[in-house]
Amino acid sequence: MTRLSVIVKHWTPAQWDALIMQYLPSNVLTDKFWRGRPGPCPICGGQDRFTYDNKRGRGDWVCRHCKDGEPMAGDGLELIRRLRGMSFAELAKELEGTRPPCPLPQVARPVTPKAAMSDEAKAKRIQRVWANAAPLVPGDAAMRYLAARVPGLVAPRPSALRIATMDYYHDGELMGRYPTIVAQFTLPDGRTATVHRTALDPAKPAKAYIVTADGEILPAKRNDVSALPTAGGAVRLMSPRDGVLGVAEGLETAYAAHMLFGVPTWYCLNRVLLNRFVVPQGMGIHTLYIFADFDEIDPKTGKSPGMADALALAKRVRNEGLTVHLHRPMVRGTDFCDQWLTANRLQGIAGQRAVCA
């Protein structure tokens, strides 16, 4: 263990904050700095490229375009060493024998609380995002993505999905602009609660691969703000047929289940919302198909999370007097999109053999 490691071994995150306050100039220690927003880099001087996130509780930071044009990151000691032009041995000598930074209560972060968005503002934002997106048309990025994820897909063109080019922000930083599937999440009474976004790769039919300068892989799928509680709702991909409807967790899974079972299917975004799904009144639905993800067993609960939520939904809907059919994939750890892709692949192999024969 190095001398520096011994010195800082028992420091708390707030003590690392206090150390940083001792060394960095006041023009860097702004409200944006303490909130983890991009700002000026104390090392290279570049604007809006340095972020202090203290994510490991060791004064952690990243500059996305530092000296020599390369990303740079480290803990508080690395920041001070680079800022002062010191070696680790010199920094250890300076810190050795000194008292640890100020106690926790004395480390004050000048954070300005972010104003909460009102429900009315959230509703307007959702309406704006939806209005600025365009209906799907053959050959667009969304249709190409769905065709790649669910090969051979045949389904009505969904009015609940649209396509837009949208900015992707992370911690206030623009990560890029991506073609984006915008999904309308509708409550049982017909109101829109939120829109869900799936960022796509601009060049190929796949989800976007978005990664920060310090290596964090960001989710391609995200909800926007929610103007209303989301429990009970779903993205309505197609109309129920003859009183029959299916529900699944995700977009691709819903379409794959539709191809496998021939049932018009909606999706609920995740297993928790699948559990809370409410069959809308006034649509004549009397039979519900539930297409569960066959998740691995959670060692803490001894249950498959996807199956547990699907079973809870099935029990509740049966008690409401509806007919329920619960289906799961054949292989644990998969969903129906995986099953459809496997079936499609095997069918292709069988076709090749038949041609060879």
Q: Which helix (H) or strand (E) holds 326?
A: strand 323-327
Just give the CATH number of 231-357.
Answer: 3.40.1360
Q: What is the pLDDT of residues 152-183, one digit of tens each?
A: 999 999 999 999 999 998 888 888 999 999 99
Tell how far CA 32 is from the center of its chain.
24
Check residue 98 and give its pLDDT.
61
Query: What's the angle, vertex CA 125, arms to CA 123 and CA 126, rounded to 5?
Result: 65
Q: What is the percent of the chain where pLDDT is above 70?
A: 90
H or E element at residue 349? helix 336-356
Contacts (Cβ under 8 Å, ≥6 apart) of 129: 164, 166, 182, 195, 224
Position 351 pLDDT exceeds 50: no
Contacts 24+ apart (CB under 8 A), 308-312: 309/271, 309/272, 309/274, 309/275, 310/271, 310/274, 310/275, 312/275
Is 239 a residue whose pLDDT tops 90? yes
Closest CA to 41 of 17, 67, 18, 21: 67
pLDDT given at position 100: 57
Q: Element (H or E) spanning 337, and its range? A: helix 336-356
Tell me the CA end-to-end span of the chain in Å, nearest whole number.
67
Mean pLDDT throughout 56-66? 83
Q: Looking at residue 40, what is its pLDDT? A: 83
HSE at residue 162, side-chain half, CA atoms within 13 A, is: 17
Residues 67-116 pLDDT 10s: 766 788 888 888 888 888 888 788 877 777 665 565 444 444 544 445 67
pLDDT digits (tens, 9 = 90+) for 304-328: 999 999 999 999 999 999 999 999 9
At 68 the pLDDT is 66
DSSP label of 268: -
What average pLDDT does this structure show over 333-349? 87
Residue spans of the domains in the chain: they are: 3-106, 117-226, 231-357
Mean pLDDT taken over the chain: 86
